[in-house]
Each structure stands twice: as structure tokens, then as C-alpha cells.
Structure 1
Amino acid sequence: MPELSDATYRQIAALMHETVGLSFSDSKKALVSARLSQRVQQLSLDSFDAYLGRITTDADAAEFQVAVDLLTTNETYFFREPQHFELLEQELNRLRPQSLSVWSAASSFGDEAYSIAMLLSDLQQQGRLGSDWSILGTDISDRVLRSARQAVYPEARLRFVSPQRLKRYCLRGEGEAEGLVQIQDRLAERVQFGQLNLCRPIEPLGPFDVVFLRNVLIYFDSDTKRAVVDRVLALLRPGGLFFIGTAECRVPCATPLQSLAPGVFRRLPGPAR
């Protein structure tokens, strides 16, 4: 098993920070070593230095993406933090909009985006939302986006989906696919996915009425968090809802916000402070 030296670790950490904004303190060295060591062995490399050489060359951009995938945790499931979906439903019940544009800005495997789609589809069928609604899911990881587009999940990931929604929007696998669930095409087609680095200028998107940026800010240092949040909020309409993870505390940004509930904010009119 190769050993990750302090010097090489600092170079890997610096590369991840400069390119995708990931922040790894000295205390995360063991975690980085554990997540990358198996990959180093799979490539038959004799050191982490050799692996660093691989991911820093333009010719091996694909391997850099593999490293990013390994260093970011993508644990997720449908209707995670259900109070956020309840608040969104209450807000839409109040407004009854005819159109709605939602952005899942760190969509991972798509659980969040398809959860939102289930809720919006229900509201449309009940006459509480117009038919002109759409969801965009973005992530930096090409691997998780490919999985999201396939829209196939282990049953355990849908443990908080009601039996009624499972019947309306999902197909259960049989035979070799037993234990898997596929999102029905009529719902999946309402969700689009694309690759996006939140730490770089964002191409023209939006504007959006609702933005979810949950459980991703934990990977960034304070300066990067502030830049990412303001960059994302620039695409949220004044009055729109902004969701972060309930454990991510007060959101650092210059954009004026009103706190509504843990992890939920409304963007206020006016320029960034």
C-alpha cells in the first residue's frame, strides 16, 4: 500500500481547491489517502506522486474527474430532509403559480431532483400548479449525472416515498432487476441534467423560482462558500426560495435573504450588500 506524504497531500489538496473548490484541511489527510489508495493500486501505480502526475496533466482529464468522484460523498436518498419539501408545498399552495422553474444545483445521483418532480407533478394533478414547470439538476461529477439520467435506484433509497407515489411514478424491477426501482419516463422527462462546476462562472441559466443547494457547502472553505452562494443566488428571482442543508447553518453571502426555517431562505429584492 503506497503512503501519502504530507507534501503530496498538500499538492492534491491545493489542486482540488484551485480547480473545483474542495477544501481539505490537514486533518483530512487520512480520508483522502483512504479514498484514493484503491485507485492508485487499480492503475498499478507505485506512489501517490505518480497519481498526482496523472490527475494534473491535461491529457488525463478523465482521471481527474475520477479523483473528484472519489473525494466527494454522494450519499443521498429521496425526500431527504422532508420538512423542506413540506415548506415548498405550502409555499406553492399559497401562490398557485402557473409556471415554475427549479434548480437542483448539487443534484448528485438525482434523488433530490426526482423527489421535487414527484411533488410538482402531484400539485399539477391537483390543480395547485400549472403545467409549465421544469427541473434542472447539475453536478460536477459526470459519473453521478450518468446514473441520474438512467433513473434507476435501489429500493432503499426510496424508503421515504409514499406507497401512492411509488405506484404513480415508479416501476419495480423483477427477476435480475429485483430490488431496483425505475422512475417512469413521463416523470423523468420533466427533469434535465447537466454538468456544472459551481466554483467557476456559470453560463446563462435561469432565472429560477426555487434553488436547492443542499449538503455541498460543507466541502468548501468560507471564501469559496460565499462566492458559490452569491453566484447561485444571482440566478434566483427575488422572492424565490433557496434551500441549503439544515446542518449547514447560516448561509454566507452578500445577497439579501430572509430566513424562513432551518436551511430555507427567501431571496429579497435589492443588490448584494
Structure 2
Amino acid sequence: MQALSDDTFRRVSEIMYEAIGLSFSQSKKPLISSRLASRIHKIGLPSFEAYVDLLEDHNQAAEFQMAVDLLTTNETYFFREPKHYELLEQDLLRRKDRGPLAVWSAASSFGDEAYSTAMLLSDMQRKGQLGPDWSILGTDISHRVLLSAAEGIYPQDRLRHVPQEQMHRYCLQGEGPATGQVMMQESLRAHVRFGQLNLTKSFEGLGPFDVIFLRNVLIYFDTPTKIAVVDRVLATLRPGGLFFMGTAEGRVPCKTRLEALIPGAYRKAA
């Protein structure tokens, strides 16, 4: 198979940017080439050009979704960036109102973030620190990762930062062929739901939320798209609500007024 040409690389970039806002600089060309090559070989196409023709066919939505999965990174694990969960717990403890609480994991990937948050909130409910009316919405662009998230089954290593007490309380240990895997308990999964969402498109009617996680997804967008996405997401956050980004993502790109709390954590101005 011939190498990925500059013209075909531009076609891939334009398709992904127009459809879901993914932005690829020229430096990403080797990455795109390596990730698509194995897929092209597997489905028996002769070239990158033929594969891009397939992606432009609106009747090939499943293959387009496969390409999205290949070109985005979904590495994650439970209780990633623990300082964020500590801040969330402290903030909720200071709340006088124990009424409904709505959390949005806006780039939920395989659901590690959503279920980590659910473990924290469930623990607080058990201690009488939080009412029973809490819910978590996890959304992602990838249908494949959402199907996995809804199943709630994970390699045990992904829960390496989960205390044993929580493991026993919220996880079922796999046996036989499933040894080394864990499943989230139904009591935990009942508070969590997942749905597909493109953050670069309008999503009117969503929210309002008390807490939003938008971590480690903005790296895929150019600056104008980042600003539009963050402001659109923050429009669904209640005044005074908490907003979390990845600590390595730098300054939050938005026009909405925020108060910085700790690295990657903000409060929306009242």
C-alpha cells in the first residue's frame, strides 16, 4: 500500500473536523497513517484514498465511527487526578442542601470517570452526607466506548487506585474465564446512564448540572472550537457549580466567568 499522501491526509483532516471537530496538524500525519493502515488492510481496501472514499459515504456510518475510535485516545482509569475527587467531596460536604445532584461526565470514554464519581457519591450517601437523589450522565462521541461503559466491566488494573473497601462494596470479581475482570454492582450502575453526544454540535435541553467533568478531550480541538465547546458546556452548569478539566490542559479556554480553585478545577461565577 502506498504511503498516505498530503492530499489524502488533508481529506481525512477535513472530514473529521467538519463532522466532530477533531483538528489534526501536519505533525499528526504519521499517527493517522499508522492507525488507519491496519484497518485498511483488515477490510481489504487497496489504498488510503479508497478508505477515505468510504468515510465520505454517508451510508457507512459504522465505519466512520470505527475511524473515530482509531484516531482518538481513550486511555483512562478509575480516580484519575484524585485531587479533583477530594475537592468535590469537600465541596459537597459544605452544601446545606441535600436535594438532587446532577453530574455530567462530558467526555466519559469507557466510563471510568463516571463510575469513580458514583463510588464517591454512593459512599457519601451511605454516611448520610448526601441525599439519595443523585445522578451521573456520561457522554462521548464514540458509540463503541459507550457500549463498553454501559456494561460496566473493566480489567482489574484499571481500578488500581480504588481502595479495597470500595472494591468489595461496588464491584463483582470475575471468576474462571473472567478472572482479572470486575463488574460494577447494579446498585451503582442504577445512578449512571450513558449517551452519545458530539460536543461540537448543539445540545439544547441538556442540564442543568451541579458538577461537570470535561477532562482530557480539548486536546483534539483547535482554539476556536475549544472556546465554543467549553462555553456551550458551561451554559449547562448551574451558577456556583464545579467544573473540572485535565490538569495538563492548561488555562481553560472560554468566555464564561470562572473562579480557579486548584489545578484543573473551577467554580462558575454566580
Please say whether Structure 1 and Structure 2 have the same fold, judged by a TM-score greater than 0.5. Answer: yes
Q: Give the C-alpha shift of residue 77 in structure 1.
A: 0.3
For residues 161 and 37 of structure 1, what CA distance do their matches in structure 2 show?
37
Give 1:144-163 correspondences, 5 Å limit.
144-163=145-164
Partner of 2:133: 132
Q: 1:99 touches 1:129 (CA, 8 Å); kept in 2?
A: no
Confirm whether residue 199 of structure 1 aligns to residue 200 of structure 2: yes
* AA aligned opposite 1:87: L
Partner of 2:73: 73
* AA aligned opposite 1:84: H
Give 1:152-191 correspondences, 5 Å limit.
152-191=153-192
Task: Quote the sequence identity (%).
Answer: 63
Partner of 2:263: 262
For residues 56 and 195 of structure 2, what CA distance do their matches in structure 1 show?
24
Task: Encode CA deviations 1:107-147: one digit per residue, 9 max, x unaligned.
Answer: 00000000000000000111111111000000000000000
Task: Encode CA deviations 1:146-176: one digit per residue, 9 max, x unaligned.
Answer: 0000100000000000000001000100000
Q: 1:98 touches 1:130 (CA, 8 Å); kept in 2?
A: yes
* AA aligned opposite 1:65: Q
For residues 109 and 253 of structure 2, what CA distance do their matches in structure 1 show?
22
Confirm whether residue 52 of structure 1 aligns to residue 62 of structure 2: no
Give me the TM-score of the superposition, normalised by structure 1.
Answer: 0.97
Partner of 2:16: 16
SS at match of 1:90: helix
Q: Give the C-alpha shift of residue 2 in structure 1.
A: 3.7
Partner of 1:101: 102
Task: Encode CA deviations 1:26-51: one digit per residue, 9 max, x unaligned.
Answer: 00000000111111101111110000
SS at match of 2:63: helix
Partner of 2:216: 215
Q: Give the C-alpha shift of residue 189 in structure 1.
A: 1.3
For residues 63 and 99 of structure 1, what CA distance do their matches in structure 2 show?
40
For residues 2 and 195 of structure 1, what CA distance do their matches in structure 2 show?
35
Moved runs in structure 1, 4+ residues, more than 4 A? none
Partner of 2:239: 238
- Structure 1, unpaired ranges of 5+: none
Give me the TM-score of the superposition, normalised by structure 2.
Answer: 0.98
* AA aligned opposite 1:30: P
* AA aligned opposite 2:29: K
Size of the aligned set, in residue pairs, is 269
Q: Give the C-alpha shift of residue 98 in structure 1.
A: 2.4
For residues 252 and 26 of structure 1, what CA distance do their matches in structure 2 show?
23
- Structure 2, unpaired ranges of 5+: none
Task: Encode CA deviations 1:212-231: one digit per residue, 9 max, x unaligned.
Answer: 00000011110000000001
For residues 219 and 188 of structure 2, what CA distance do their matches in structure 1 show?
30
